[in-house]
Amino acid sequence: MNAHSVSRSGVDRLINAPIPNTLNLPVRARELLRIVDAPSAFSQRWVRDEWLADPEALVLGGASNILFVRTEVGKAMSLGTSTYGAIDLGDRVRVFADGGVGLDEWVRWTAAQGWYGLERLAEIPGTVGAAPIQNVGAYGVQISDVLDAVALWDRHKQEYVVWRAEECGLSYRHSRFKEEPGRWLVLRIWVTLSKHAPRDWPHLGYPGLESAAARYLESVERAAHGLTPAELATIVTDVRRQKLPDWRSDTIGSVGSFFQNPIVARELAANLAERWPDMPQYPQDTQERVKLSAGWLIERAGWKGKTVDAAGMSEIHALVLVNHGGATGQALWDVAQQVQADVYSQFGVRLEPEPLIWQ
């Protein structure tokens, strides 16, 4: 049965609609509501009562952070709003974007303007609306570092609210939104960026980034401090494409890093360091907790490059769960759970998935 749609004020309602996803799984929604004009859509009672208030209606961004174990979703919603812009504040700029805007598109646009703050998030898939929920980050920067405010629709109280960044409960790959899954629909976010390079610019001390930047700087005969935000975004892109499958590809599917880097008590980290002196460890600000490398743990557990029925962990980056073509969502989830079990058995560390597991 092919999808067909019915358009009404502010929304498109699609029946039996495919859900594109970066794991390349064959998933369909019996009904998909695409919100193309939020004020118009939310003013309609049937949208609020039949969709926004329904806890079973899944909110979709770019489906780049979801593992669909099932092949069918009953009801799903997505934001088709895609406006972004900026307000000049002198040395700084306040930038906004609707939740339906592609995150990578928005990041590259800000970098192209010469504004500093988001360039390290280049090449991350998904939408702007998903960014504060996951508190996305890369190479020392998280969206929380620049976030000002978030406009939300509260699906429980059926009302529009705006939260300041400090109200969002943002920490490493976590937010207040994740504590109440399905309740919050992110309509717009605002960030503050700088027109001038920060003091530690360009801060290249991350695996792969420093060497890639050195090669680029040698080719253009320039010092590191002369890098523009757009140039650093390009360098980040090159590094990510060497380590991760292209999320636009229809050949190999992934959601990028599948597991969070675990943060453990200092005592456990010390015990692990005695047994494995080469284990990467990153003390956190509190000094009572230490971040470990999930990729290192997975590789040492023997899962890097291992495949079971087209589902497995990438041979390039052990942290990436991949669909080599034809794997089911259940097969991918089975592999992920086996990785969790093996890492826990060997190291006593529990890995937590980054994406939503839709079962």
**pLDDT, tens digit, 9 for 90 and up, residues 82-103:** 899 999 999 999 999 999 999 9
Q: Give the residue from 53, 79, 105 where a domain finishes.
A: 79
**275 in active site:** no
Domain extent at residue 47: 4-79
**What is the pTM assigned to this prediction?**
0.87
Same domain, 116 and 180: yes
**13 in active site:** no
Q: What is the mean pLDDT of residues 154-159?
A: 95
Same domain, 275 and 348: yes
| Three-state SS at 38 | helix
**257 in active site:** yes
The per-residue pLDDT for 1 is 45
How many domains in the chain? 4
Same domain, 94 and 74: no
Same domain, 264 and 237: no
Q: Give the residue from 58, 79, 100 where a domain finishes.
A: 79
Q: What is the mean pLDDT of residues 319-347?
A: 97
Looking at residue 129, the DSSP 8-state letter turns out to be G
Same domain, 99 and 75: no
What is the pLDDT of the chain when averaged over all its residues? 93
Catalytic residue (choose from 78, 175, 257, 293):
257
Same domain, 154 and 137: yes
The reply to whether 325 falls in a domain is yes
Using the Cα atoms of residue 113, residue 117, residue 118 and residue 121 in order, give the sign of their dihedral.
positive
Same domain, 95 and 188: yes
Task: Check whether 274 has a pLDDT greater than 80.
Answer: yes
Cα separation, 173 vs 257, in Å, equals 12
The count of other CB atoms within 10 Å of the CB of residue 184 is 24
Looking at residue 53, the DSSP 8-state letter turns out to be T
**Closest by alpha carbon to 135, among 60, 216, 146, 73?**
146
Task: Check whether 206 has a pLDDT greater than 90.
Answer: no
The reply to whether 187 falls in a domain is yes
Q: Give the residue from 34, 61, 79 where a domain finishes.
A: 79
Residue 106 burial (10 A CB sphere; 0-12, 13-18, 19+): buried
Using the Cα atoms of residue 273, residue 278, residue 280 and residue 281 in order, give the sign of their dihedral.
positive
The reply to whether 200 falls in a domain is no
Catalytic residue (choose from 173, 183, 266, 289):
173
Same domain, 189 and 216: no
- DSSP one-letter string for 196-233: S--TTTT---STTHHHHHHHHHHHHT--GGG--HHHHH
Helix 229-243 with 103-112: angle, nearest 10 deg: 150
Same domain, 302 and 347: yes
Same domain, 157 and 71: no
